Amino acid sequence: MSKALNFIKKSNHVLFFLAVTLFIVVISVEFISEFFDHKYEPPKIALVDNSDTQEQIKQTQYTKEYFAKLKDVYIFTLSAKEIDITQHHDGEIYSMFTGSKVSHDLYNGHFLSRNAVNLMFVRENSKPHMLLRKDGLLLEFSKARVSSSEEEHLLNKNVYLIINEDTNRNGYLDHEDSAKLFTSTFDGKDLSLILEDVGSFRTIENNKLLISQEGQSPQFYTFDLTSSTLLTLDTSIKTSREKL
């Protein structure tokens, strides 16, 4: 009888151990699955056409978020999941932002918010200035820097990588569309196009950029922010065949 009880007791311990192990395995699998189900997806902005007045106008729902302060200018990002391609920003700014959400996170680490579609530059006791007259998708923003360090070079202008056209006609602004590189003054004015079909850019020395261009014939360029000079780098590969 005692042997039978000991056997049952040991069996219960084994079953309990197996149950705990199975529970841990199930929880781990669910955690891993959930982690991989939330892979990073590039930002994607839906385009809404409100030109048909017979339909109800669908207003863009913005989220305003503090980005940084540059000299006497406060910079805010505007994010949205969809934008109205018939809308432009001038004197109607205040009515457009009626009911917009406000992010209270003032410690965003100076990174552009996901689905950033515009930038607002604000001075105290002054009306706000919008970077883009028509919303687009802001991929990167390097703000002007008046002091340099080993990690960062001087920049006398702001630099932006922006998608503002649905070049593949899929109804969205996303990473498959052509990106353009722009500059502006530190307060977001005098927006100027540098180059289209841009892959990426980086600051290589004070007020100088290295730019890669996409397309069938990829190119590399340098751009001097002080003189606004764009130069092509000759990176062609030349070969010759020896005569045997």
Which DSSP state fits 178? P
Per-residue pLDDT of the chain (244 residues; tens, 9 = 90+): 555 555 555 556 656 566 667 767 666 666 555 554 456 678 989 988 877 655 555 678 899 999 999 999 999 999 999 998 888 887 544 444 455 787 777 776 667 888 999 999 999 999 999 999 999 999 999 999 988 776 789 999 999 999 999 999 999 999 999 999 999 999 999 999 999 999 999 999 999 999 999 987 789 999 999 999 999 999 888 888 877 6
Which DSSP state fits 71? T
Global pTM reads 0.77
> For residue 241, what are its two tokens?
């065949």
Pairing of strands 45-48, 63-70: unpaired
Say how far apart CA 225 and CA 203 lie, in whole Å: 10
* Long-range contacts, 93-98 (Cβ 8 Å, 24+): 93/127, 93/128, 93/130, 96/59, 96/60, 96/62, 97/62, 97/64
Say how far apart CA 82 and CA 171 lie, in whole Å: 10
Phi-psi region of 150 (alpha: psi -120 to 50; beta: other; left: phi over 0): alpha
Say how far apart CA 142 and CA 38 lie, in whole Å: 28
Tokens 């950033």, residue? 116
CB 197 within 8 Å of CB 178: yes
Say how far apart CA 4 and CA 183 lie, in whole Å: 84
How many contiguous H segments (helices) and E segments (strands) does the chain have? 2, 16
> For residue 208, what are its two tokens?
């100088």
